[in-house]
Amino acid sequence: MSKLIVTKSDGSLLFDTRKITYGLVKSGYLAYSSSWTRRTLRSAQLDPSDGSNWYASTQVNDLANWDQIWSLTVTNAKSPIVFIVGSGCLNGSTTSGTSIAYHYSNASANTKFYCFDLMADNIAGSPYLKTYNESGILTFNSLQPPLNIAGTYQPPGPTAPAGAYGVQTAYTGGYFVSRQNDNNWNSSKQDCRFDVALTAGVEYAAYLPWSRGGSTVDTQGSTPISYAVQEGVYGRVGGISFLFGASAGTTLVTGVAPRPSGWYNIPSDRYPVALIITTANLPFPFN
């Protein structure tokens, strides 16, 4: 089998034409795309599995009942993956023709993204180096900055139970972040985060191949609330951070605390592993 293997000066692998290679296709800032309303059961006596038994706020200035969604769109992608710098939880994707849009909650206009996809022969420019396998499929294109994984990290488990099968924090060593000023509701503990310190002064981006879900009850404010949460990970200067934040469009219970304040249904039998990259040598913005 013909092959071309290129290593960096430190001996680490840059690319191997026998393997699948990902390259950068787009980078930039997430853009506000829509607001997803939270939903409340009309009555405790109604069947929660029937969607008609829930109602949603229609007032965009009702900060207690909607979440901002921040998105990015790529076209003609085969199998894209997205690394982010700055807070965000992936809330799924939508397709339209040849375009794929990725939607994030718990994010902002300051959240940066780096989207990678299988390298393809569709970028103009010269000079270049392109390699193909025996089937004629492109395996490397020097016109695309390659994806180089700098490391991986698995988050810690939750703390001791808080009562009624709940836990005190979603991560051991985690801390809470108020989202009062981020167009959500004035919960004192909406997000639970855990910071991982890496090399100081280096900016990292992170990607979570899959995420966990759960719920939380906050009884610290004047009005107890309960809502669903989901997991995310993001990079920053000096490290990465895991978080459990409100799932956009979550069900919402206000005024009644069905359980003690804490985090519930946080899976502890399996943990995702975050992929980490450095951004210093990646163009930004890039399209």
| pLDDT > 70 fraction of the chain, expressed in percent and rounded | 86
Beta strands in 166-270 (DSSP E): 166-167, 175-177, 191-197, 204-207, 213-218, 225-236, 239-246, 252-254, 262-264
47-53 contacts at long range (C-beta below 8 A, 24 or more positions apart)? 48/251
Predicted pLDDT at 256: 61
Exposure of 179 in the CB half-sphere (CA atoms within 13 A) = 26
Higher pLDDT residue, 151 or 8?
151
Cβ count near 57 (within 10 Å): 17
Cβ proximity of 104 and 30 under 8 Å: yes
Average the pLDDT over each of 61-70, 120-129, 145-154, 199-208 and give the range with the smallest value: 61-70
Identify the pLDDT of residue 209.
95
**How remote is the C-alpha of 195 from its chain's centroid?**
15
Whole-Å CA distances, 175 to 116, 192, 195: 31, 6, 9
Cβ atoms within 10 A of the Cβ of 255, count?
Answer: 7
In contact, 133 and 17? CB cutoff 8 Å: yes
pLDDT of 2 reads: 55
Examine the pLDDT at 183 and tell me if it is beyond 60. Answer: no
Mean pLDDT of the chain: 84
53 φ, ψ (degrees, to nearest 5): -90, 5
pLDDT value at 218 more than 80: no
| Amino acid present at 158 | P
Domain limits of the chain?
5-36+67-149, 152-277
What pLDDT, on a 0 to 100 scale, did the predictor assign at position 87?
95
Cβ of 130: how many Cβ atoms within 10 Å? 14
Pairwise CA distance, residues 264 & 155, whole Å = 17
Distance CA 208, CA 162 (A): 27
Question: Could you read off the pLDDT of 220-256 as tens digits, one per residue?
Answer: 666 677 888 999 999 999 999 999 998 888 887 776 6
Res 167: pLDDT: 84
Q: What is the pLDDT of residue 161?
A: 75
pLDDT tens-place string over residues 105-153 = 999 999 999 999 988 877 777 777 887 777 777 878 878 888 989 999 9
How many C-beta atoms surround the C-beta of residue 179 within 10 A?
21
Closest residue by Cα to residue 89 from 274, 234, 279, 195:
234
Convert the pLDDT of each residue in 84-100 to its tens digit.
999 999 999 999 999 99
pLDDT (mean) for 156-174: 83
Do the Cβ atoms of 208 and 83 come closer than 8 Å?
no
The pTM (predicted TM-score) of the whole model is 0.86
Q: Quick one: average pLDDT of 153-176?
A: 85
b/e 95-125 (16+ beta carbons within 10 angstroms → b): eeeeebebbbbbbbeebbbbbbbbbeeeeee
Cα–Cα distance, 63 to 76 (Å, whole number): 36
Q: What is the pLDDT of residue 258?
A: 62
How sure is the predictor about 8, in pLDDT bands with cuts at 50, 70 and 90? confident
Q: Which of 12-26, 31-45, 247-261 has the highest mean pLDDT?
A: 31-45
Residue 188 has phi, psi (to 5 degrees) of: -80, -15
Residue 40 reports pLDDT greater than 70: yes
| Helix, coil or strand: residue 74 | strand
pLDDT band of residue 64 (cuts 50, 70, 90) is low
pLDDT tens digit string along 271-284?
999 999 999 999 99
In degrees and rounded to multiples of 5, residue 51 shows phi and psi of: -60, -25
pLDDT at 203: 98
Greatest mean pLDDT among 9-23, 26-40, 246-260? 26-40
